[in-house]
Amino acid sequence: MSLDRGLFQLTLPYTWMGWIGWIIGVLLLLAGILDPLIALVGLLIIALCSPGSLEADLHKVRKNAPQAESLEAEALDKGYSIDSWWMGRSTFTPTTDPSDWILPAPGPATWNQDQYLPHGDGTPLPEHPVNVGTPRPAVFSTYGVMMITFVIGVCIAAGFFISENNGVATIAEDGSEKVPDDLTYIAYIVLGVGIIWTLIGYFQYKMQRQMADTPTSLVRSVAVGNPELVGQVRPSRAGVLRVVVDGHPNRVIPNCVQFNWQYEVKICKETTDSEGNTKTECHWQTVRSDSGAVPFILNDGTGGILVNPSTFKRADLGNYLRRWESNHADSLRKEIGSEFAARLFTGGDIRKHRWTVYALRVGNPVYILGTTRSRPQEEIQNEGLDGTLQNSLLEVVGEDAPGIKATLHRGSELANLGKMRSAFEIMMVPLCLTIGGIIISLMNL
């Protein structure tokens, strides 16, 4: 598979939810013949449902690549399941994980007892950047074409509405003067959204370029400094975490080295406007959350190195690992307490309970850009290391350096860059909206 997508790539969804959204967007785009505003909504939906230029093909490779049976045996069951129809309890595990291994990864049955040693013949793992190279997304994809068309349409529509309503005052039938509404604020909304979007794109672009431009080091030859490392998560002497989400025995995630979970409730409240119309407004509110981590070994095939994940301020664990939803809390006491608090502080009632967990687990791919430093001699002795392996004398921590932001991502470099879009789509699309907002604002001063 070519990892250089050139100038343009037509991208289509690769999940059933993406296809549903994409088809809805196409139908709205066709309906835009009657109302251009509907067409703009259709363009936006198509753009958001279109994956990156490499993402769909990498998913096909991942789906067809045989994974180690020992890893599959430890994997969580994937898909949607109903735990209790009467209580409205369900569990969902994503069937597609863009942060998972794309090429086959070695299973625990083939690992060395000493995780610092090279794996097998000491060659880098199949998905290591020295084997697959660095992907380059297409300059234009379906997302870019649809989004730039959407931005142009929004700017034209905003300018039209403002000019139509900034005319001279007219005389109504009852003889009163009718002053048109001043919609100049629309131009400032467009400008504000464009500026915020451009800033977000700028930082995303910087992170993407840092990942793509930094050469990947091999663990066996890594030195003190600020290397980029890609490998497989393996347990250290610190062991692994058995995460019990919100203390419930039926919500357990084993073999974790880093995690965070949130317990949220969906609160709905009815509001009435001045004309007597009622509507229901709902939002998710976090009630409790927790996080944790233990040191682990990153093994890239050439050797292993100790990583301290709790020192990384920027840790991206990818898509959620599992989510539980229920119409009720875990117990009657919690149900009554949460309902009372919702009515007292928000004036609404609770419709849903949701627990979501994100985790980095043993066997997962991991990408790290951090700082390597020498380990304390006492720690090396306590671990029983003889010091013959240079990589066993170092550890990786999340300390920034001049021009380098320490990051930890679940997924290999190929998986993480495969989800990203080109510099044009990240930077130029929001910049066009910002320029459009400036032009509209100047025209209506």
What is the overall mean pLDDT for the chain? 87
Report the pLDDT averaged over residues 69-84. Answer: 67
Model confidence pLDDT, tens digit, residues 396-422: 999 999 888 999 999 999 988 888 899
Instruction: Using alpha carbons, list the distances in angstroms from residue 289 to 310, 311, 357.
Output: 16, 19, 10
Closest CA to 234 of 110, 104, 358, 121: 110
Label residues 130-169 b or e (16+ Cβ within 10 Å = b): bebebbbbbbbbbbbbbbbbbbebbbeebbeebeeeeeee
Residue-wise pLDDT for 203-236, tens only, equals 989 888 888 888 999 999 999 999 999 999 999 9
Per-residue model confidence (pLDDT) at position 69: 55
Residue that the structure tokens 């999340």 belong to: 398
* Per-residue confidence (pLDDT) for residue 375, from 0 to 100: 94
**Residue range 60-66: average pLDDT?**
79
Q: Which long-range contacts (CB under 8 A, 24 or more apart) does 333-339 make?
A: 338/265, 338/287
- Biggest CA–CA distance in the chain, Å, is 97
Average pLDDT rounded to a whole number, residues 231-249:
94
Question: Can you give the pLDDT at residue 292?
Answer: 96
Average pLDDT over residues 72-84: 69
Which pairing describes strands 371-374 and 394-397: parallel, antiparallel, or unpaired? antiparallel
Which range, 70-74, 130-134, 240-244, is most confident? 240-244
* DSSP string for 69-117: HHHHHHSPP-EEEEEETTTTEEEEE-S--TTS-SS----GGGS-SSTTS
Torsion of CA 312, 316, 321, 323, to 10 degrees: 100
> What values do phi and psi take at 277, rounded to 5?
-80, 135
Question: According to the model, what pLDDT value does residue 72 have?
Answer: 52
- Residue 193: its H or E element: helix 185-213
The backbone region for 93, taken as left when phi is positive above 0, alpha when psi lies in -120 to 50, beta otherwise, is: beta
Residue with tokens 């003190």: 224
The pLDDT of residue 68 is 64
Report domain extents, the chain.
8-443
pLDDT digits (tens, 9 = 90+) for 95-152: 778 888 998 888 888 899 999 999 989 999 999 999 998 888 899 999 999 999 999 9
The contacts found for 146-151 with CB under 8 angstroms, 24 or more apart, are 146/43, 146/44, 146/46, 146/47, 146/50, 147/43, 147/44, 147/47, 147/425, 147/429, 148/428, 148/429, 148/432, 149/43, 150/40, 150/43, 150/44, 150/47, 151/429, 151/432, 151/433, 151/436
Confidence at 57, pLDDT banded by 50, 70, 90: confident
Beta strands in 132-211 (DSSP E): 140-141, 170-171, 177-178
146-172: average pLDDT: 80
Q: Which residues sit opposite 279 in a β-bridge?
A: 271
pLDDT for residue 252: 92
- Which of the four pLDDT bands, split at 50, 70 and 90, describes residue 176? low
Q: What is the pTM of this model?
A: 0.83
pLDDT value at residue 76: 67
Structure-block tokens of residue 390: 């240079």
Tokens of 12: 């289509």
Lowest mean pLDDT among 231-245, 292-306, 344-358: 344-358
Q: How confident is the model at residue 386 (pLDDT cuts 50, 70, 90)?
A: confident
For residue 79, name the pLDDT band (cuts at 50, 70, 90). confident
For residue 277, the tally of other CB atoms under 10 A from its CB is 8
pLDDT greater than 80 at residue 362 = yes
Between residues 172 and 86, the one the model is more confident about: 86
Contact 360, 258 (CB under 8 A): yes
Give per-residue pLDDT as tens, 306-358.
Answer: 999 999 999 999 999 999 999 888 877 777 777 767 776 677 888 899 999 99
- Within its chain, how far is the Cα of 106 from the centroid? 26
